[in-house]
Amino acid sequence: MKKVLLVAAIAVLLAGCASGGNKSIEQETQIGVQSKIIKGKTTKQEVKALYGEPTGVSISSDGKEQWHYVFTNTQVSGKAFIPIYGLFDNGATTNMKQLIIVFNDDVVDNYLFNNSNSEVKSGILN
């Protein structure tokens, strides 16, 4: 019994985590974005002050500039690090936040905020 508890405790401690992208949107919510960005009023300078440099910039088919902000956080199951057992049952959970802001000249024309979660299971048992 002590060995099982020890293995479980080690698995919890070894659970991996990786994040990347623009940390300024890590804690952002739809309501938070709505309160900070006002269509037809908020400027590029104000957006940059709120969220920093965008992860990417593109031009839409109608010639409007789009700023992309992306943040991902992945948690790997501690089971993956247990010798032999990890081959049979492991996985990861990923949270992705994406904010796309469309500008007409220097002012926000539109925006989209998306927060999605996905779970991947792997191993022989899954």
Residue 38 neighbours by CB under 8 Å, 6+ apart? 108
Residue 5 binned pLDDT confidence (cut-offs 50, 70, 90) = very low
> Any residues with CB less than 8 A from the CB of 58 and at least 6 apart, and which?
65, 66, 68
Q: pLDDT at residue 2 above 60?
A: no
Sign of CA dihedral 61, 24, 98, 40: negative
**What is the average pLDDT value for the chain, to the nearest integer?**
83
- Among 8-12, 48-52, 88-92, 101-105, the minimum mean pLDDT is found in 8-12
Look at residue 101 in the predicted model and tell me its pLDDT: 99
Of the listed ranges 8-12, 44-48, 66-70, the one predicted with least confidence: 8-12
% of the chain at pLDDT higher than 70: 72
Per-residue pLDDT of 112-121, as tens digits, reads 999 998 877 6
